[in-house]
Amino acid sequence: MNKFLLGSLVLVFLLSACGTSAPMASKGAIEITASFANAVGVGENSAAFMSIKNNGSEADTLLKASCDAAMMVTIMDSKMEGDVMSMSDVSGIEMPAGSTVELKSGGYHIMLMDLKQELKAGSTISITLEFAKAGKITLDLPVNAIGSMP
Ligand SMILES: [Cu+2]
């Protein structure tokens, strides 16, 4: 993809209203849409949410996530135990061919721990996802006021 086309896609995303289903990043068979991170202060933890689709005919795996703005980044799953929500690290997220995995509140998410900078609502944060087959995909996530849902 050339730079001009990439720039156009970013512009299209910025111009479109919230709730758009147009992909905000894609590479190989992987397409990422509707993503955002929660606004928090320095030293706090945030979570990033998104929808990841594997359009390919082969399975892929989300191996890890990285973000320069956080001291540590992990992929986590959440589940309810009784009426308590607990989160645990996962070693990766399997993406069967043709599947869509939703990273959302109460499920999988990218945990951004110990932020080095404030995440202000309305700004963006750069996160890189690494897939076994598709490789690295970097996207600029919009930062939303905490508590807002995708
Ligand atoms: Cu978490």
State the chain's mean pLDDT as an integer. 86
- Residue 16: its pLDDT value, please? 42
pLDDT tens digit sequence for 72-123 = 999 999 988 888 889 999 999 999 999 999 999 899 999 999 999 999 999 9
Determine the distance separating the centroid of ligand 1 and the alpha carbon of 77, expressed in angstroms: 7
What does the block give as tokens for 84? 């308590």
Contact between 18 and 24 (Cβ < 8 Å): no
In the chain, where the domains are located: 26-144
Distances (CA, A) of 10 to 4, 5, 115, 125, 135: 10, 9, 25, 14, 20
Determine the distance separating the centroid of ligand 1 and the alpha carbon of 64, expressed in angstroms: 14
| Whether the predicted pLDDT of 52 surpasses 50 | yes
Q: Would the pTM of this model clear 0.75, i.e. be above it? A: yes
Determine the distance separating the centroid of ligand 1 and the alpha carbon of 88, expressed in angstroms: 7
Determine the distance separating the centroid of ligand 1 and the alpha carbon of 84, expressed in angstroms: 14
pLDDT-derived band at 149 (thresholds 50, 70, 90) equals low
What does the block give as tokens for 140? 């600029």
Determine the distance separating the centroid of ligand 1 and the alpha carbon of 11, expressed in angstroms: 31
Give the CATH architecture of domain 26-144: Sandwich (2.60)
